[in-house]
Amino acid sequence: MSRGVPSSTRPKADKAAFGIAIFLAALAALIFWDASRLTAVANYSRIGPATIPIVIATCLLGLAVWTAIAARAGDFPARERQQIAPAAWVVGGLVLQMLCLKTLGFSIATGLLFAMTAAAFGKRKLYITIPLGIVLCLAIWLLFAGLLQLSLPAGPLEHLLRR
């Protein structure tokens, strides 16, 4: 899917919606390709592992065509103008958490996510929000990993507390 042309007016042909149609068609093609390499195991049901995926892919193709027609007619609802920057903060926070989780542990990684999300909504003072997030997440870690034995990845901070 493409990010879409922000538009508050209704264009005659909706380019972004065409993008959706292409995405659906591509997804259908991927399923067809994947289903083609499945081998039919001796089976009494006559419906093998590939049958249902092929049905689903066919329907997705149909939906792709339908979407394209609707896009040409400009049938999609008007979209709000999207601001990329705040959303990028949130995505950045999630990516950072993913990258740091195994090495820096739950508290630091999730604390960073906390601060970046707050930043997305206007709290940009990272020197306050990052420590705040880390302390909060450390408390959560103590509660869930310590008391409830949930396996949350430990990093330097958590190891410090364990000793």
Partner 1 sequence: MSTFEFLLQGLLVAMQPMNLVYALIGVTLGTAVGVLPGIGPALTVALLLPVTYRLDPGGSLIMFAGIYYGGMYGGSTTSILLNTPGESSSIVTALEGNKMARAGRGGPALATAAIGSFVAGLIATIGLAFIAPAIVKLALVFGPREYFALMVLAFVTVSSAFGDSTLRGLTSLFLGFALAIIGIDQLTGQTRMSFGVPDLLDGVEVTTLAVAMFAIGETLYIAAQGDQGPEKVEAVRGSVWMTAQDWARSWKPWLRGTVIGFPIGAMPAGGAEIGTFLSYATEKRLTKHPEEFGHGAIEGVAGPEAANNASAAGTLVPLLTLGLPTTATAAIMLAGFQQYGLQPGPLLFATNPQLVWGLIASLLIANFMLLVLNLPLVGLWVKLLTIPRPWLYAGILTFATLGTIGANPSVFELGMLLAFGLMGYLMRVFGYPIAPVVVGLILGPLAEQQLRRALAISQGDPSVLFTSPIAAVLLTIAALALIVPAVLRARGKGQVLSQLAASED
Partner 2 sequence: MKHFLMTTVLSAVLAFPAFAADYTIVAPANPGGGWDQTARSMQTVMQQAGISGNVQVQNVPGAGGTIGLAQFASQGNGNPNTLLVGGYVMVGAILTNHSPVTLRDVEPIARLTGEYEAIVVPASSPIQNMADLVAALKKDPGSVSWGGGSAGGTDHIMAGLIAKAAGVDPKAINYIAFSGGGEALAAILGAQVTAGISGYGEFESQIKSGTLRLLAVSSAERLPGVDAPTLKEAGLDIAVQNWRMVAAAPGLSAEQKAAVSADIEKLVKSPQWAEVLKTKGWQDTYLAGDAFKAQLDKDIAATETVLKDIGLVQ
Residues 28-67 contacting partner 1, CB under 8 A = 30-31, 34-35, 38-39, 41, 43-49, 52-53, 56-57, 59-60, 63, 66-67
Site for partner 1 in 58-117 (CB under 8 A): 59-60, 63, 66-67, 70, 75-77, 79-87, 89-91, 93-95, 97-99, 101-102, 106, 110, 113-115, 117
- Residue 7, amino acid: S
Q: Taking CB under 8 A as the rule, does residue 157 contact partner 1?
A: no
The answer to whether 108 touches 157, Cβ cutoff 8 Å, is yes
Smallest distance, Å, CB 59 to partner 2? 25
Q: Taking CB under 8 A as the rule, does residue 162 contact partner 2?
A: yes
Smallest distance, Å, CB 39 to partner 2? 8
Sequence length of the chain is 163
Smallest distance, Å, CB 22 to partner 1? 13
* Angle (CA) 51 56 58, round 5°: 95
Smallest distance, Å, CB 89 to partner 2? 31
The answer to whether 96 touches 69, Cβ cutoff 8 Å, is no
When the beta carbons of 37 and 81 are compared against partner 2, the nearer one is 37
**Cβ-Cβ contacts under 8 Å for 127 (sequence gap 6 or more):** none
**Cβ-Cβ contacts under 8 Å for 100 (sequence gap 6 or more):** 108, 109, 112
For the chain, the C-alpha Rg in angstroms (whole number) is 24
Site for partner 2 in 119-158 (CB under 8 A): 142, 146-147, 149, 151
When the beta carbons of 14 and 158 are compared against partner 2, the nearer one is 158
Burial 13-50 (b: 16+ CB within 10 A, else e): ebebbbbbbeebbebbeebbeebeeeeeeeeeeeebeb
Query: Binding residues for partner 2, per CB under 8 A?
Result: 39, 41-42, 44, 142, 146-147, 149, 151, 161-163
